[in-house]
Amino acid sequence: KNEVEQSPQNLTAQEGEFITINCSYSVGISALHWLQQHPGGGIVSLFMLSSGKKKHGRLIATINIQEKHSSLHITASHPRDSAVYICAAIVPSNTDKLIFGTGTRLQVFP
Amino acid sequence: EAQVTQNPRYLITVTGKKLTVTCSQNMNHEYMSWYRQDPGLGLRQIYYSMNVEVTDKGDVPEGYKVSRKEKRNFPLILESPSPNQTSLYFCASRGGLNTEAFFGQGTRLTVV
């Protein structure tokens, strides 16, 4: 069993829909990243959070440390949101350790 | 502009021919890492460095070498590439513990 699990693996949506991607982890973490990877593209950090909620434009990320769960929400989804979304847990250690989920592939159709 | 720069973006090479993928960051970050990304396996850490002249193995270090002679640069060296090293490689840097990671654009390597 992976230490960081994402669901769903694949997600399709119509433009304008509200989208939720979930990330659960079984290890102790100090913070969690949400990353975005467009096809053929690099990886961009959307959020890093250790508690509560962060918002940037149409994107909202929440984390519940006690429940070991984080969600990424996209409001009013758009075809340009089509990408792979990856959560990555920052493990409290004396190493540069990130544990990655296997990603959620999102396709938003017009 | 804060960035991590990898070169080359694409590389096709033959088995056994030594190659180097360069990585440079302009944010004065302490931490740098190399990852490979394979379908179904996600991102896996190859090597990391937490300071100049300090490097350590990640989860999949076999067949790779790294060096950190200066803070900004962290090259990945494949002394004798093999087809199972065909992958998408990412360099990343962070300022320290609990700080945001910045990723390069990726290097798609094919070893034939």
Reply yes or no on whether the pLDDT at A1 is more than 70.
no
Question: Model confidence over A9-61: pLDDT tens digits?
Answer: 999 999 999 999 999 999 889 899 999 999 877 899 999 999 999 999 999 99
Confidence of residue B2 (pLDDT cuts 50, 70, 90): confident
Count the alpha carbons within 13 Å of A49 in the hemisphere toward its beta carbon: 23
Asked if residue B94 has pLDDT above 70, the reply is: yes
Q: Do B33 and A42 touch (CB under 8 A)?
A: no
Residue B18 has pLDDT above 80, yes or no: yes
> What is the pLDDT, as a whole number, of residue B74?
98
**Interface mutation vs chain A, best among B43, B51, B74, B88, most A CBs within 10 Å:** B43
CB contact under 8 A, A102 and B40: yes
Mean pLDDT of chain A: 93
A21 compared with B99, residue with greater pLDDT: A21
Question: A96, A97, A100, A102: best mutation site toward chain B, by most B Cβ within 10 Å?
Answer: A96
How many other CB atoms are found less than 10 A from the CB of residue A14?
10
Quick one: pLDDT at residue A27? 87
How high is the pLDDT of residue B37?
95
Minimal-distance CA residue of chain B relative to A100: B43
pLDDT at A39: 84
pLDDT digits (tens, 9 = 90+) for B32-69: 999 999 988 889 999 999 999 999 999 999 999 999 99
- Residue B103 reports pLDDT greater than 90: yes
Cβ–Cβ contact A101 with B under 8 A: yes
Q: What is the pLDDT of residue A26?
A: 93
Interface of A with B in 80-99 (CB under 8 A): 86, 88, 90, 92, 94-98
Per-residue pLDDT band at A2 (split at 50, 70, 90): confident
pLDDT given for residue B29 in this prediction: 96
Is A97 a residue whose pLDDT tops 90? no
Helix (H, G, I), strand (E, B) or coil at A10: strand
What gap in Å lies between CA B77 and CA B67, rounded to an integer? 8
Mapped onto helix, strand or coil, the DSSP state of residue A57 is coil
Map tokens 């720069």 to a residue: B5
Contact B108, B56 (CB under 8 A): no
Tokens of A4: 């960081």
